[in-house]
Amino acid sequence: MMIKNRNIITLLIAGVLLFSCPLWGFALPKITVSGIVTDTDGESLIGVNVQVKGTDKGTATDIDGSYELNDVAEDATLVFSYIGYQTLEVLVDGQSTIDVSLTSDAELLEEIVVVGYGKQKKANVIGSVTAISGSDIEAIPAPDLTNAISGRLPGSVVMQGSGEPGRNSARILVRGRSTLGGAGQTSPLVVIDGIPNRSLNEIDPNDIESISVLKDAAAAIYGSSAANGVILVTTKSGTQEGTRLNYQLYQGYLTPTILPEPAGAAQYARYISDYQNYEGLSRLYSDRDIELYENGNDPWEHPRTNWMDELVRDWTTTSKHHLSLSGGSDNLSYFISAGFKNEEAFYAQESTNYKQYNLRANVDVPINNWLTASVNYAGFITDRKYPTTSTYQLVGWASLVVPTEPAFWPTGEPGPDFEGGVNPVVNSSFVAGYDELNNYKNQITLKTSIQPEFVPGLDIGAFYTLDLNNAYNKTFKKPWTLYYADWESAVRDADGFITRMDLQPRKRGLDSPELTDRYGRDINTMAQFHANYSKSFDNHSFSMFGAFEQFQVKSNGFNAYRKFFISDLVQTLGAGGGKRTKTMMGI
Quote the CATH superfamily of domain 30-105.
Answer: Carboxypeptidase-like, regulatory domain (2.60.40.1120)
Cβ-based neighbours of 255, under 8 Å, separated by 6 or more: 11, 314, 315, 316
Residues of the chain with CATH 2.170.130.10: 111-235
pLDDT digits (tens, 9 = 90+) for 129-164: 677 777 777 777 776 788 777 767 766 777 777 778
Q: What share of the chain is helix, strand, coil (3-state, %, to 5)?
A: 15, 45, 40
Residues of the chain with CATH 2.60.40.1120: 30-105
List, for the chain, all residue ranges whose pLDDT scores fall below the cut of 50. Answer: 1-27, 109-110, 122-126, 581-587
What pLDDT sits at residue 90? 92
- Is residue 290 within 8 Å of residue 351, measured between CB atoms? no
CA distance linking residue 146 with residue 260, whole number of Å: 27
What pLDDT sits at residue 293? 94
355 class by beta-carbon count within 10 Å (0-12 exposed, 13-18 middle, 19+ buried): middle
What pLDDT sits at residue 194? 85
Cβ-based neighbours of 234, under 8 Å, separated by 6 or more: 114, 193, 208, 209, 210, 211
The CATH architecture of the domain made up of 111-235 is Beta Complex (2.170)
243 in helix, strand or coil?
Answer: coil
What pLDDT sits at residue 123? 43
124 in helix, strand or coil?
Answer: helix
Pairing of strands 230-235, 208-215: antiparallel
What pLDDT sits at residue 129? 64
Distances (CA, A) of 37 to 40, 59, 102, 108, 524: 10, 12, 7, 20, 53
What pLDDT sits at residue 488? 92
What pLDDT sits at residue 280? 93
132 in helix, strand or coil?
Answer: strand
